Structure 1
Amino acid sequence: MTTFTPTTAAEVLDAVRWAAAEEQPLEIVGRGTKRGIGRPAQTKHAVDLSGLTGVTLYEPEELVLSARAGTPLAEIEALLAGRGQELAFEPMDYAPLLTGKTSSDGKSGTVGGALAANLSGPRRLKAGAARDHILGVHAVSGRGEAFKAGGRVVKNVTGYDLSKAMAGSWGTLAVVTDLTFKVLPRAETETTVALRRLDDEKAVAAMAAAMGSSAEVSAAAHLPELVAARVAGGTLGSDPATLLRVDGFGPSVAYRVAMLSDLFGGHVETIDTERSRALWVGVRDVAPFADGTDRPVWRISLAPSEGWKLVAALRMQLAVDAFYDWQGGLVWLRLEDDPEAELVRRLVRGLGSGHATLVRASAPVRAAIPVFEPQHGALGALSARLKSEFDPRGILNPGRMATV
């Protein structure tokens, strides 16, 4: 197996041109923190982007940052924090769930991986995901052609933005070499309001009430019994916890926390800034299921009012661990050895539009079943046309998202 380790965009172009000419499939990888998502690689060669690093532009006053694709997210987040700024889409770190290691162990994902996986976190309800913050990219298509899309200004609207097409493509369309993101000021402070001992249905109703209020809640999650004890060092205890985050300037946060307390009749707990931030990192990075095993973990997105119904239906047939983010619309499930793909997807379809991704499982399991939600009809045809345009020979991460 040949592994190319480019340190410049020109070297990436050379590697892909060779692969295209020889029709040799390539695995595209950064620091490997998300390598376990998707079907196992079906390649003999790889392009390792972990040496393609460095912030190339940072203009805090213009809220713009550019970096090479292999730059660790932890490095970028530290740079932004030093200027009171952040990536507002709050990208999750898959390393704890998939590798058992955190960014402090040197296993942080990369900025290129954040776009490829279209990462987001608890703030997605308000701020969207990586695709909503990308301004521009430089990349190399599977044809062996370099291209760029977008620009370095927030108001760039020069037609269809190909940079957004890279979001969620998992390296199957092009090898992104450089990215430009918009950044935003970081909240001065935050407080989490916690409601305790609600069952899943009542918790979803409470989250909906909070999100529908004028308290400007930036994140809403529910941790059922026992799951709550697996975040923030167990400081929440094991009782169910329904969590509502309020952030911004100090006086505004205090006013809005009081508003939520009134909304729920004063039956709330408050969690201060330091503990709150640690708590939401745990929710973001799926800490309750970061157990060092390869027991199947599903990431399921559907209407916020339907998530608890899915879990209730599954619990009639299986032993299921679950918790909820995005006001109940993002459900994280942990099963035992069998991922029960057919059952999970049948129940999701029965609740309307939604999709299920098998985020963690052993390599033989991932090779045997569709890991990503199968695409049919117009959406499947569109995906096929994009693949044909960007990578007609199918050399980039073949089979990762679907059988080929």
Structure 2
Amino acid sequence: MRPETEAELAEMIRTAGGPLHVRGGGTRAIGRPVTGEVLETGGLSGIALYEPGALTLVARAGTPLAEVEAALAAEGQRLPFEPMDHRGLLGTGGEPTVGGMAAANVSGPRRIQAGACRDYMLGVRFVDGTGTVVRNGGRVMKNVTGYDLVKLMAGSWGTLGVLSEVAFKVLPTPESSATLRIAGLAETEAVRVMSEALGSPFEVTGAAHLPVGAEGRGETLLRIEGFSESVAYRAGRLRELFAGREVSVETDAGAVAALWAGIRDVAPFHGAVGDVWRLSCKPSDAPGLVARLSPEAVLYDWGGGLVWALMKAGVDARKLINPLAGHAMLVRAGEASRALLPAFHPEPAPVAALSEGIRRKFDPKGLLNPGLMT
């Protein structure tokens, strides 16, 4: 099924005789496999409103993300949360869509400084499991419209409703960017350096560490963005802050963009054999967590608060991190592992009861992506 209008979408859900596998561009095969008739949102496409002066964009859910980014770039603007492209990591095709990005709350390295996808979502329109069209939020940051269903839909993975339209706040693209590359740091020291940089007044917008980076050594990356003179000044001050270490500065705009696109999309794991886990924890706990996991490969982002781990197939990373306050999500695995291991971290019993109650309210017949998040 591929509706072309919101009314068609509502009718399809209202008259559905069984489970529906809700799908946007088909780029994120994450979660338990869903058995049901495929409902694609790609027909709900197009930018409905773009007001560069108001920093506001409204797009239908099936709009390719590339189309939105191109429209923003033409006006010197961008999505601040730097959404990840999962295709290289998951080996999928298709086109990432606005609705899929919002439903999965997809964000990238800049989240640590700018916030997540949900923080820039101003309003949504969606169809719930009864076929009812729901609208919440608006086109400005300050709206008081009752329950915040905008945030509820972000990260719901199509289990509460099928998005038909999303409104975003956008921001200007910075004039300049640079990346400090610090070579040779061990993981514990790298986390300490990233924390120091993020806690400095120099507005770091990306902090990542590759245990095996350029020339086979550890490489710690710190990104700064803004006006050219400010970037040059802050890069110099950060070099002073880390004097005595092996520091270089990359200022070529294309090279900086490519470097952080690789971090955003977890490029070192593309084509590598094994399951991929996404783990959130306190940065100071990250090296210890990695030691417990003994992964095949690892990438630290968000100053160490986000750890990407490449593990042997079938290993449940959650069983290895429970003693630490962490959160694990299975992002890539074979069909056998996806069927055996839940992708999403189990919720505490009281939270799970609330989540189930919300699902029953929005999707009483259990039509929308049943089992995907369990």
Q: Is the 8 A contact 2:206 2:224 kept in 1?
A: yes
SS of corresponding position for 1:356: strand
* Corresponding residue of 1:96: 88
| 2:288 is the counterpart of 1:291 | no
- CA distance 1:100–1:141, shift in 2 (3 Å): closer
Q: Aligned-pair distance for 1:303?
A: 0.9
- CA distance 1:194–1:128, shift in 2 (3 Å): same
SS of corresponding position for 1:237: helix
Q: Which deviations, in whole Å up to 9, do the C-alpha atoms of 1:25-78 show, x marking residues without a partner?
A: 1000011001x20001121x1211112110000000001000110101111111
What is the identity, as a one-letter code, of the residue corresponding to 2:87?
A
Aligned residue among 209, 234, 243 for 1:256: 234
Identity among equivalent positions (%) equals 49
The residue correspondences of 1:63-82 to structure 2 (distance < 5 A) are: 63-82=55-74
Tell me, in whole angstroms, the C-alpha distance in 2 between the residues paired with 1:240 and 1:193.
14
* Corresponding residue of 2:351: 379
* Corresponding residue of 1:233: none
Q: Which deviations, in whole Å up to 9, do the C-alpha atoms of 1:196-216 show, x marking residues without a partner?
A: 010100000000111111111
Q: Is the 8 A contact 1:314 1:320 kept in 2?
A: no
SS of corresponding position for 1:243: strand
The residue correspondences of 1:2-401 to structure 2 (distance < 5 A) are: 4-19=1-16, 22=17, 24-34=18-28, 36-43=29-36, 45-99=37-91, 107-225=94-212, 228=213, 236-265=214-243, 267=245, 268-272=247-251, 273-291=253-271, 295-315=274-294, 319-338=295-314, 340-341=315-316, 344-352=317-325, 354-401=326-373
Tell me, in whole angstroms, the C-alpha distance in 1 between the residues paired with 2:320 and 2:189.
21
Q: Which deviations, in whole Å up to 9, do the C-alpha atoms of 1:218-242 show, x marking residues without a partner?
A: 11000012xx2xxxxxxx4322110
Q: Is the 8 A contact 2:26 2:95 kept in 1?
A: no
What is the identity, as a one-letter code, of the residue corresponding to 1:320?
E
Q: Aligned-pair distance for 1:347?
A: 3.0
What is the identity, as a one-letter code, of the residue corresponding to 1:389?
K
Tell me, in whole angstroms, the C-alpha distance in 2 between the residues paired with 1:337 and 1:348.
17
Q: Is the 8 A contact 2:181 2:250 kept in 1?
A: yes
**Structure 1 consecutive aligned stretches of length 4 or more whose deviation exceeds 6 Å:** none
Q: Aligned-pair distance for 1:364?
A: 1.8
TM-score after normalising by structure 1: 0.90
Q: Is the 8 A contact 2:41 2:62 kept in 1?
A: yes
What is the identity, as a one-letter code, of the residue corresponding to 1:264?
F
Tell me, in whole angstroms, the C-alpha distance in 2 between the residues paired with 1:55 and 1:238.
44
Tell me, in whole angstroms, the C-alpha distance in 1 between the residues paired with 2:181 and 2:147.
42
- CA distance 1:292–1:311, shift in 2 (3 Å): closer
Q: Aligned-pair distance for 1:251?
A: 0.3
What is the root-mean-square deviation in Å for CA atoms of aligned residues?
A: 1.3
Q: Is the 8 A contact 1:58 1:64 kept in 2?
A: yes
- CA distance 1:56–1:292, shift in 2 (3 Å): farther
Q: Is the 8 A contact 2:300 2:306 kept in 1?
A: yes
Q: Which runs of 5+ in 1 are unaligned?
A: 102-106, 229-235
Q: Is the 8 A contact 2:84 2:106 kept in 1?
A: yes
* Corresponding residue of 1:231: none
Q: Aligned-pair distance for 1:330?
A: 0.4
Q: Aligned-pair distance for 1:301?
A: 0.7
Tell me, in whole angstroms, the C-alpha distance in 1 between the residues paired with 2:174 and 2:73.
11
Q: How many residues align?
A: 372
